[in-house]
Structure 1
Amino acid sequence: MHKRTKVMILLACLAGLRVHEIAKVRGEHFDLVGRTFTVVGKGGHRSTLPLHPLLVEIAWTMPRKGHWFPANSTRSGHVLPRSVGTIIKQVMVRAGVPGTAHSLRHWYGTTLVDSDVDLRTTQELLRHASLATTQIYTKIADHRKANGVDRLDPFRSASSSDSGGAA
């Protein structure tokens, strides 16, 4: 796998970036000492987010200035977002992984929740305006549902209940 392809996939999986956000990544967006980066998202909205340790490591090997994924010689600026999506999709097909580049963003959100990150924090990391959108992105595993049900204690004494007893 080419280095730039690996970096694109890591940005999708470990930062939850959209393909158009990946396309526009610049070296200036990263504070490697502070382990943060700035994302220019939908509507030009800027967010500063924490960097996963693997992204910090790979960022040290990338340009400090300018686009990480420059356009080819016929265009200036950054690679097209659809090209990022195609590159990631081709790797997924070769690896036998179903889905699209955007599926990696869903994986990011679901994995955060599955790792006991609360939904509100997950919303911030995904940069969703609405918690309802975050809920769409996150799937709850059956074992988490079963664990939740297992925590119910119908024999808990009324004095230990916040609600003052059973309904």
Structure 2
Amino acid sequence: MTESARSAPPRSTRLDREVRGWLDHVRVERGASENTLKSYERDLRTYRRYLHERGIDTAGAVTEAQVADFLASLRERGLAASSAARTLVAVRGFHRFLVLEGTVPADPAVNVAPPTPPSRLPKAIPVDAVERLLAAASVGDTPESLRDRALLEVLYGVGARISEAVGLDVDDLDTGSHGEVGIVRLLGKGGKERIVPVGRFAVEAVSAYLVRGRPALAHRGTGGPALFLNQRGGRLSRQSAWAVVQRAAERADLREHVSPHTLRHSFATHLLDGGADVRVVQELLGHASVTTTQIYTQVATHRLREVYAGAHPRAR
């Protein structure tokens, strides 16, 4: 072989030209960013190599089974589910473009489903971290600090979603007799109502807020039935409630990421750690299916494995 033959660029196939046509369309017609284009080019380079190795040099010859096999090959190489799914987005976009352009009669990628990413375990924080967070929620004895402590006690004490907590009206909560467990009526997803017990700490925090905090906030505005009020006397928004949690987490110097949903996760995890039945936790959380709640049992099992691995002499 001559030197010129060895240095000659590889022959451009019809598939290569089809890919370039789609990339030009994405660049010009859709105005994709350079980072997006580079990502598409990289993913489709891998796809073209896969097809070239199987003697396929045009998109019209690709079958659904080959697209599915390509996706499986990515996973076999150890590519994360999220990265494989991103590659499939590029492949799907490429084939869909060719169908719309009339270049090929059918889309072989349309029914190929992306890989399901592994379920992420909910992030719960330890009980001592929750106690630090709750203590940091109330600084002083202002109406706002009393409200903030009551809000966080409700989020953790009843496992409420943030939308459920800020949607509470005063009449939705019964603090019960002195020293007894109260109850709260929560309006969950799809308008589904549930009754959840409220522990003594949350009852005391809400009672203090109702007596010494809420009247001052209500006086600044129209008041209304809302339990948690903002500084203008209106109903506290979800964004403001988020900010309450974030400020408390900063004051408590918590390194973990803490959000209102973190407290809901912690509520469920700590109940299961304490021996609560998963179906009881399902009712308290307002899950339609126990399958959703069972992810928290994985959290408890994960913690058991960690303790066992660190404590048992024959664990490793």
Same fold judged by TM-score > 0.5?
A: yes
Q: Which has the larger radius of gyration?
A: 2
- Which one of 236, 240, 247 corresponds to residue 79 of structure 1? 236
CA RMSD of aligned residues (A): 2.4
Per the alignment, residue 162 of structure 1 pairs with none
Quote the Cα distance in structure 1 between the aligned partners of 2:307 and 2:253.
29
Counterpart residue identity of residue 29, structure 1:
D
Per the alignment, residue 19 of structure 1 pairs with 162
Per the alignment, residue 28 of structure 1 pairs with 171
Task: State whether residues 38 and 48 of structure 1, in contact with CA within 8 Å, keep that contact through their aligned partners in structure 2.
Answer: yes
User: In 2 relative to 1, CA 90–62 (structure 1 residues): closer, same or farther, beyond 3 Å?
Assistant: closer
Instruction: Give CA deviations for 1:102-142 in whole Å, capped at 9, x if unaligned.
Output: 11110000000000001110111111112121122451121
Give the structure with the higher percent helix. Answer: 2
- Which one of 101, 119, 135 corresponds to residue 294 of structure 2? 135
- Which one of 224, 246, 253 corresponds to residue 89 of structure 1? 246
TM-score normalized by the length of structure 2: 0.42
Matched, 1:123 2:277: no
Quote the Cα distance in structure 2 between the aligned partners of 1:53 and 1:128.
24
Per the alignment, residue 6 of structure 1 pairs with 149
Other structure's SS at 1:37 match: strand
Larger relative CO (CA 8 A, sep 6+): 1 or 2? 1
Quote the Cα distance in structure 1 between the aligned partners of 2:242 and 2:274.
27
Quote the Cα distance in structure 2 between the aligned partners of 1:144 and 1:37.
36
TM-score normalized by the length of structure 1: 0.75
Per the alignment, residue 158 of structure 1 pairs with none
| Unmatched tracts of structure 1, length 5 or more | 147-167
Task: State whether residues 19 and 82 of structure 1, in contact with CA within 8 Å, keep that contact through their aligned partners in structure 2.
Answer: no
Other structure's SS at 1:61 match: helix
Per the alignment, residue 165 of structure 1 pairs with none
Per-residue deviation, 1:143:
6.3
Instruction: Give CA deviations for 1:48-67 in whole Å, capped at 9, x if unaligned.
Output: 11111112223333449821
| Number of matched pairs | 144
Query: What fraction of aligned residue pairs are identical, expressed as a percent?
Result: 27
Matched, 1:70 2:239: no
Instruction: Give CA deviations for 1:73-107 in whole Å, capped at 9, x if unaligned.
Output: 3xx85111121112112211221221222111100
Task: State whether residues 155 and 165 of structure 2, in contact with CA within 8 Å, keep that contact through their aligned partners in structure 1.
Answer: yes
